[in-house]
Amino acid sequence: MKGIKREGWISYKADGMFSFLWQKRYLVLNDSYLSFYKSNRFSEDPVLSVALTSITNVSRIQLKQNCFEILRLTDQKENVSPMNSYFYESNSKRPIFISTRTEQDLHGWLDAIFAKCPLLSGVSSPTNFTHKVHVGYDPKVGNFVGVPDSWAKLLQTSEITYDDWNRNSKAVIKALQFYEDYNGLDSIQTDQSNPSLNLKPLKSPTKYIINKRTNSIKRSLSKTLSKSKTDSILPVYQSELKPFPRSAVNNNSIINLKDAKTHENDMHASREKVTDLRTTQLKRKEQQAIQHHLQKHDSNATLKPRRVAPAAPVAKLHNGKAITPKENLLELKDADDSEEIIMKMKTVAIDVNPRPYFQMIEKAGQGASGAVYLSKRVKLPQKNDSRFLNSHCDRIIEERVAIKQIHLSEQPKKQLIMNELLVMNDSHHENIVNFLEAYIIYDKELWVIMEYMEGGCLTDILDPTADINASNKSSPLNESQMAYIIKETCQGLKFLHDNKIIHRDIKSDNILLNSQGLVKITDFGFCVELTEKRSKRATMVGTPYWMAPEIVNQKGYGEKVDVWSLGIMLIEMIDGEPPYLNEDPLKALYLIANNGSPVLRRAELVSKKTRQFLDACLQVNVELRASVRELLMFDFLLLACGPKEFKQTLKWY
């Protein structure tokens, strides 16, 4: 037989008549089809032939050993033998599961399929692609034709134009694939009547949906509202919708929590007037979210919205280089085995109810997986209580700590939390938020006790209201303060990279500050460990606007994705926000895939040393991009001030 690219025995199962059976088949890949034969003599027609143009995704799956899943659109031309025919809806995606004998074989198949399928990473040249699936733009319909329905919908509501398609159709496809894989298909049910808002009912937790800025705000809004059972926070804050000058931070109410278990009632009951720093920050965040939300609906609103960074989406094993769960850090898979993860958590967390040991003071922040509280340690465990392993019997009474409270049953991705625990437990460094201990309560709740970072996150001190085009351009940070933050972050990253850990979600929201002006990295949910064998990952994680092009382009990647994100964070400090933040997320992904290194809009605010540093971070070619070790030798970092000078910046609060 001619044109065979790869062939061999596999086991397969598809939905349909024999969906419960793994069947042995001879698989043949040629230029156009993936065909399943009963024997390798090709004496009969194939049992099933799948057009390569219909394959929209291939990913590893833990259904069986050495197993992967192919998703194909069923409205494409496909030969199915009568024995295997079944009813399917047009345009639906159907899976086929393939299991190979060896891991090597599996990788061989994945690479070969990826290379041949135009809708996967091995996209052929744009002309070729267009020819194969007849993608084009129909001016009568005003939309793209020949793409899957879900993509057509997305394109219709996105800001991607036909010119963008002509300029770089491959980048458009990458962005679409990426967006779809990231969000899951259901997130693509856009509200056609109001594409700019695109607000669908948000699932809980909602963090993982990439969408427009408005959605991020909707997300934090809905989080706030659902936490308070909608009765208290909104009316109070609505009545206070005014600009929120930095000088006016001292006269707001506090949410005083006595006990985490009853905090919702307490939130309602105990709004007292106090002059507390962190409460003010928290409240401002909520208020800004509401302001932005109302602005979207109220044309009279005059305030410029604050930037709210969309949070990192869920990772999915994606392509041929995807990985099996690592012994230590868990790779993200679709289904959580709760019991297994809780067992693993107990290797780090103490299986004891910690309530008697802490007094909640106030809420410091709200994450996707739970709330963070400022608390005080009021009691120590008995020294002879073996459950505490002595590790924290020597802690200090009155110590102020941050407690992240996570309701495990509400977490669809417990691996993220597990990862966070493992990395924090192993990573003691002055530029990493210090993990103290963790408790697991009746297998239901996890309390992570950390050092308290009263300065909040870096995003809070950037100036989101600054008009990027205004004549009085300035940044709230001077160059030496920027150099200081970057130097400290680089040191934290060097520690992680030296330990073969990639953070994968570096952005200003994940840099915390304390009252001594110290700068520390937090949020280790997306960390992953590189092993000797696999020095490149292919899983898609991170937050779109900070994401390196090699992730959007779904290539294998390494620790230098953190360097790219660090560069974007430096742009945040100079420009006030990351590039493309005002673009719709799909367009932003396209621009990251297509544009190469982003342009600094306020380049004149910084010196050549800073620009050189930025250049080294934002090289699209990973080989040319500096490593963190190299970055630490750049002259830019010699400009760094010390913590004391940086502390002045925090006085804004």
Ligand X SMILES: Nc1ncnc2c1ncn2[C@@H]1O[C@H](COP(=O)(O)OP(=O)(O)OP(=O)(O)O)[C@@H](O)[C@H]1O
For the CB of residue 188, give the shortest distance to ligand X in the complex, in Å.
23
For the CB of residue 512, give the shortest distance to ligand X in the complex, in Å.
6
Radius of gyration of the chain, Cα coordinates, nearest whole angstrom: 26
What own/partner pairs with CB < 8 Å and gap ≥ 24 does 50-56 have? 50/78, 50/96, 51/76, 51/77, 51/78, 52/113, 52/116, 52/117, 52/118, 53/117, 53/118, 53/119, 53/132, 53/133, 54/78, 55/113, 55/117, 55/119, 55/120, 56/93, 56/119, 56/120, 56/148, 56/177
Compute the distance between CA of residue 163 and CA of residue 169 in angstroms, rounded to an integer: 9
For the CB of residue 505, give the shortest distance to ligand X in the complex, in Å.
8
Compute the distance between CA of residue 59 and CA of residue 153 in angstroms, rounded to an integer: 24
Q: Considering beta carbons, is residue 120 or 368 the nearer one to ligand X?
A: 368
- List of residues contacting ligand X (CB under 6 A): 207, 311, 364-370, 372, 402, 404, 433, 450, 452-453, 456-457, 512, 522-523, 525
Compute the distance between CA of residue 370 and CA of residue 446 in angstroms, rounded to an integer: 10
SS3 42: coil
Helical spans, DSSP H, in 117-168: 126-133, 149-157, 162-167
Compute the distance between CA of residue 279 and CA of residue 271 in angstroms, rounded to an integer: 11
Compute the distance between CA of residue 392 and CA of residue 399 in angstroms, rounded to an integer: 12
Q: Considering beta carbons, is residue 148 or 455 the nearer one to ligand X?
A: 455
Torsion sign (Cα): 337, 340, 346, 347? negative
Helical spans, DSSP H, in 45-168: 103-116, 126-133, 149-157, 162-167
- Which tokens sit at 316? 């999915």
- Which tokens sit at 366? 């709200």
Q: Considering beta carbons, is residue 188 or 348 the nearer one to ligand X?
A: 348
Q: Around Cβ 642, how many Cβ atoms within 10 Å? A: 10
Helix, strand, coil: what percent of the chain each, to 5?
35, 20, 45
Q: Considering beta carbons, is residue 254 or 364 the nearer one to ligand X?
A: 364
Compute the distance between CA of residue 449 and CA of residue 429 in angstroms, rounded to an integer: 16
The helix (H) or strand (E) run that includes residue 457 is: strand 456-457
Q: Considering beta carbons, is residue 320 or 525 the nearer one to ligand X?
A: 525
State the amino acid at position 624 in one-letter form: L
For the CB of residue 602, give the shortest distance to ligand X in the complex, in Å.
26
Q: Considering beta carbons, is residue 319 or 411 the nearer one to ligand X?
A: 411
Q: Considering beta carbons, is residue 46 or 354 the nearer one to ligand X?
A: 354
Q: Around Cβ 643, how many Cβ atoms within 10 Å? A: 14
Does the annotation mark 334 as catalytic? no
Q: Considering beta carbons, is residue 124 or 366 the nearer one to ligand X?
A: 366
Compute the distance between CA of residue 200 and CA of residue 391 in angstroms, rounded to an integer: 46
Compute the distance between CA of residue 6 and CA of residue 351 in angstroms, rounded to an integer: 52
For the CB of residue 401, give the shortest distance to ligand X in the complex, in Å.
8
Q: Considering beta carbons, is residue 364 or 482 the nearer one to ligand X?
A: 364
Q: Considering beta carbons, is residue 155 or 364 the nearer one to ligand X?
A: 364
CA distances from 139 to 125, 136, 163, 379 (A): 24, 10, 13, 71
For the CB of residue 261, give the shortest distance to ligand X in the complex, in Å.
19
Compute the distance between CA of residue 196 and CA of residue 340 in angstroms, rounded to an integer: 42
Residue in 181, 276, 336, 505 annotated catalytic: 505
Q: Please give the DSSP secondary-structure letter assigned to residue 241.
A: -
312, 526 contact by CB (below 8 A): yes
For the CB of residue 402, give the shortest distance to ligand X in the complex, in Å.
3
Compute the distance between CA of residue 374 and CA of residue 511 in angstroms, rounded to an integer: 17
For the CB of residue 119, give the shortest distance to ligand X in the complex, in Å.
31
Nearest Cα neighbor of 308 from 280, 278, 287, 332 is 287
Sheet-wide strand order for 370-377 = 358-366, 370-377, 400-407, 445-451, 435-441
Q: Considering beta carbons, is residue 59 or 543 the nearer one to ligand X?
A: 543
Largest Cα–Cα distance of the chain, in whole Å?
84
For the CB of residue 524, give the shortest distance to ligand X in the complex, in Å.
9
For the CB of residue 312, give the shortest distance to ligand X in the complex, in Å.
8
For the CB of residue 453, give the shortest distance to ligand X in the complex, in Å.
4
Active-site residues, by number, are: 505
